[in-house]
């Protein structure tokens, strides 16, 4: 794994987790990808907020979207990017200095950690990392994010069905007019 210090990080489908760590007495952010590891002086929440903007919405807009779809306001998961789609959830209140952000679709399994109030997360690349959250709240965050994913996909399907209905209605209406007859 590469250990590179970066200034700005772009969250992508290979991002597993963004978490704060202590390094040489300083709090920095560790960014874990499938095959890469980066460090940043930027906080996890700042990275999430900047990436929301990069993907065309602000952080509050993403949180409001979550509230509208699943009525969750505390430790709300977010749909960071809708075309891929990329969903992240926080392990604590996002403003908490030790809050990590986990990529929902990258989690393979999780179990209670050996240390109190920790969870061992196994990602799809089969690497395991310990995070500072009990396994029950971690499971709740996984479920909330799954709910967000389902509700978002249902709303997209409703829009697609509406557009198909609307399109077929107008196609039918034009066909009922009869054959084209040029003016004489």
pLDDT digits (tens, 9 = 90+) for 89-114: 999 999 999 999 999 999 999 999 99
* Residue that wins the pLDDT comparison between 108 and 4: 108
The neighbour count for residue 138, using CB atoms within 10 Å, is 23
Question: How confident is the model at residue 183, as a pLDDT?
Answer: 67
72-98 per-residue burial string, b: 16 or more CB within 10 A, e: under 16:
beebbbbbbbeeeebbbbbbbebeeeb
pLDDT at position 151 is: 94
For the residues 137-164, what does the mean pLDDT come to? 90
With tokens 């050996």, the residue in question is 114
- Cα–Cα distance for residue pair 160/76, rounded to 1 Å: 26
The pLDDT assigned to 164 comes to 74
Give the SS3 label for residue 66: helix
């Amino acid at each position: 794994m590469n250990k590179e210090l970066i200034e700005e990080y772009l969250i992508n489908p290979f991002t597993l987790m963004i978490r704060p760590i202590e390094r040489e007495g300083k709090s920095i952010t560790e960014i874990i990808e499938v095959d890469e590891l980066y460090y940043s002086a930027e906080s996890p929440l700042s990275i999430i907020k900047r990436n929301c903007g990069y993907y065309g919405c602000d952080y509050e807009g993403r949180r409001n979207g979550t509230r509208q779809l699943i009525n969750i306001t505390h430790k709300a998961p977010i749909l960071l990017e809708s075309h891929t789609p990329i969903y992240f959830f926080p392990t604590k209140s996002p403003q908490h200095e030790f809050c990590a952000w986990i990529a929902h679709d990258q989690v393979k399994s999780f179990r209670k950690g050996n240390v109190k109030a920790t969870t061992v997360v196994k990602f799809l690349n089969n690497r395991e990392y310990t995070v500072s959250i009990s396994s029950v709240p971690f499971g709740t965050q996984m479920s909330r994010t799954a709910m967000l994913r389902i509700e978002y996909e249902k709303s997209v399907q409703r829009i697609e069905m509406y557009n198909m209905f609307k399109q077929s209605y107008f196609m039918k209406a034009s066909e009922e007019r009869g054959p084209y007859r040029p003016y004489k």
